[in-house]
Amino acid sequence: MTMWGTFLKPMHPEGYRFVGIFAAVTLVLFLVWAPLGWLGLGLTIWCYYFFRDPPRAVPQGEGLVVSPADGVVSLIGPAVPPAELGMAPVALTRVSVFMSVFNCHVNRAPVAGRVAAVAYRPGKFFNASLDKASDQNERNALCLELADGRQLAVVQIAGLVARRILCWSREGDSLRTGQRFGLIRFGSRLDVYLPPGVAPMVAVGQTMVAGETVIAELGRPGAARAAVID
């Protein structure tokens, strides 16, 4: 990777409009008062980085479940998947990844499978790191049907400042592991509901990289992995 490649990342097309708006406002601010212009330039650069969409090295292996988002694991525990997906109303292990406004916000499929259902539900905009955000915030949920017939749910949840959830996948689509399927503006959370008997291999506080960090292996049941954040 070149030095420029370290700092300059591809930007998702969804960000072109916003970066253009920030840049136009910045130009006006420079004409009004230079210090305001430099502030606007900083915000324009932040907007560009928010919509960055770098390539990821997706691990290849049967049964690997990867993180759907960049961020930090904020919650791990039993929870019932969103009712609107029509999945069995039983508690599954839920792994929540919280994305701050500084994380890359392009969402990736945690596992290969067919999109059995997509369901959007309006809601509130509590801080996405809170447990109640899963139930009360605006969300968009996908049920992925795996090759062996098991199901896994991944849920996009709006956060405190997020005001739009984008999902490009539709019912019947086939997704490969790590494939881009959506994006949330600006700060949010992704929940993954693992199939019964599958334990997470990550810990609360652990940093996730979308499409790269393995959060579970479908063929390895057992207790969740213990870890210490050092």
The catalytic residue positions are 188
Q: What angle do CA 174, 57, 162 make, to 5 degrees?
A: 70
- DSSP 8-class letter at 130: S
Query: C-alpha dihedral over 144, 156, 181, 178, to 10 degrees?
Result: -70
Q: Find out whether 74 and 200 touch, Cβ atoms under 8 Å.
A: no
3-state secondary structure of 200: strand
Question: What CA–CA distance (Å, rounded) separates 165 from 109?
Answer: 15
CA-to-CA dists, residue 111 to 24, 45, 78, angstroms: 40, 32, 20
